[in-house]
Amino acid sequence: MIRTRFAPSPTGYMHIGNLRTALYTYLIAKKENGKFILRIEDTDTERFVEGAIDIIFNVLKDTGLNYDEGPDIPGDFGPYVQSERKHLYEEYAEKLVEKGHAYYCFCNEERLSHLREEALKNNTVFKYDKHCLNLSKKEIQKKLENQEPYVIRQNNPVEGTTTFNDILYGEITVPNFELEDMILLKTDKMPTYNFANVIDDHLMNITHIVRGKEYLSSAPKYQRLYEAFSWEVPIYIHCPHIMKNETEKLSKRNGDASYNDLIDKGYLSEAIINYIALLGWSPSSNEEFFTLDELIKNFDYKNISKSSSIFDIKKLTWMNSEYIKKMDKEKFHEITSKYYDNLPSQIDRKLLSEMLQSRIEIFTQIPEIIDFLINLPDYDLSIFEHKKMKTTKESSLKILTEVLPIFENTNNYSIENINSLLNEYISSNSYKNGFVLWPIRCALSGKNSSPGGASELSYLFKKDETLRRLKISINKLS
């Protein structure tokens, strides 16, 4: 059975790159009716952020990436939080020491700093010099008895090569002298990220691993760990970077948009998932819109590109607008209702939602679009001048003055009745529709764009407010 895992560190909000990793990992498992596992990698205690685990849970739930096993869903391979598996890592690190694939390192920070300074001075990459590998068993035993602090380092060879395979990049071979003896177990007996995920992936029977391209350089060291234990190596898929532009990677540390940021800005979860699926993966068809179930059906990790993708907020915004247009009207109204708290009581909120649904791209545009319903803006009279409608300030004053009695003499402010009365006026004077309706809309909204036209706005405002606004415009234009 295919078993995949999403293994985030609880260091803050869910970055877009992390969410794409979760999505691809989920799709690989579900495509083959496999298992999708959530594992929390919290070994880096210095970067731990309170509440970040709950954010991970909530984002996966919100996006529909439901895991089969995890911290809150018991399975046969728990616990699913690395800090609760601490005893396992020490045991396996000691096994590597016994086999000669790892060793105790007692070097203090002063010595390590000196090595780094020397590397900097010589313009070389810092690499630990295997100093403690040469300690005798007697020296090691004495240091352990004296309780000297130590780490356990991987013992990588300095000769020969190491080869590993990746689905996208094929077979990659590196010379062993490039491999650093990375720390496996820290002085507090906590494992490093690189060591813990190898142990956990094996013990949890993980078959496919999706991660960022930046981990390609660590893959040879993982390969050597698998070989040291004589374990089967999982299938690797190292995904290309998501870029903010041609030269800069999208980065949580640089404050780039997280999933929660996008939701707060008014994007739909379904649109976000659809969009990030296409950041690196190409479907076999030209289709751009996919539900999660359709992604499961169509996704093939062998079609992931090696090339980086640029996160295009304009493309996401367009896609989000298309999702909004196709939304169930009741659901749309339910979401938009929270923006209506300060509206006058006479405003028909359901009609307003219908007027907005085809006009907005993201939900946070709503307050600015509907602010005129609360207070008439202090508008510039130039809004009445429109080349296409052939309106001027003078013509607008004439029209508003002539239509004012129409609005005054009717108490039926239904859209249909207002439409009928205005059409009769337009027809009897042989005017073009826009020549009449544009100044009315501008008078009622104080803007050169608004949801709905003259009849819809007058219906929303009802008689008193409609007349008040028409008179204000007439006075300003006079």
3-state secondary structure of 240: coil
Q: Show the tokens assigned to 124.
A: 């070389």
Single-letter code of the amino acid located at 303: N
Q: Which of 138, 112, 137, 139 is nearest to 126 (CA)?
A: 112
Quick one: DSSP state of residue 465?
H
Long-range contacts of 419-424 (CB under 8 A, 24+ apart): 419/455, 422/454, 422/455
Quick one: DSSP state of residue 160?
S
Burial 406-427 (b: 16+ CB within 10 A, else e): ebeeeeebebeebbebbeebbe
For strands 151-154 and 102-105, give the pairing: antiparallel
Alpha helices by DSSP H, listed for 15-146, are 16-31, 52-63, 86-99, 109-121, 137-145
Cβ atoms < 10 Å from Cβ of 404? 18
Residues 26 and 292: beta-carbon distance below 8 Å: no
The answer to whether residue 252 is catalytic is: yes
Consecutive H or E run containing 278: none
What phi, psi does 442 have (nearest 5°)?
-65, -40
Burial 266-288 (b: 16+ CB within 10 A, else e): bbbbbbbbbbbbbbbbebeeeee
Residues 19 and 259: beta-carbon distance below 8 Å: yes
CA dist., res. 275 & res. 271, Å (int): 6
Among 86, 127, 213, 252, the active-site one is 252
Consecutive H or E run containing 203: helix 193-203
Please list the active-site residues: 252
